[in-house]
Amino acid sequence: MLSESFKRWLLAGVGLAVLTKEKMEEAVQELIKQGEVSKEEGKELLDNLMEKAESQRRELSKRVGDEVQKVLGSMGLVRKEDLDGLQEKIQELEERLRRLEGDN
């Protein structure tokens, strides 16, 4: 059901998006320990990684939501908001019908 381009994007983006803050901190601390980066560079690197991870999480969430909506639409299913609106309209019409029948 999922489009191929969506599957590819999902697999490519999951890596950074699922890294936890703790894992990123561990990786940066290891780089500092090995002398690859200074503490200041490590902080900047961690901030950049966190920002990118959050951005990818948001994008992933949006794309998953969009894909789910597309699949639900192709299956002919309605959204809860649409169903709630129809139920409200039915209640309004039933009330109106009761009032009209009461007038007779």
Instruction: State the pLDDT at residue 11.
Output: 53
Q: How many domains does the chain have?
A: 1
Residue 100 lies in a domain: no
Name the token pair of 80: 């809860």
Instruction: State the pLDDT at residue 6.
Output: 47
Q: Compute the distance between CA of residue 96 and CA of residue 79 in angstroms, rounded to an integer.
A: 26
Residue 104 lies in a domain: no
Residue 101 lies in a domain: no
Q: If we measure between CA atoms, which residue out of 67, 61, 30 comes closest to residue 45?
A: 30
Residue 23 lies in a domain: yes
Confidence of residue 9 (pLDDT cuts 50, 70, 90): low
**pLDDT tens string 13-55:** 556 556 677 877 888 888 888 888 889 988 888 888 888 888 8
Containing structural domain, residue 55: 4-77
Put simply, whether the predicted model's pTM sits higher than 0.95 gets the answer: no
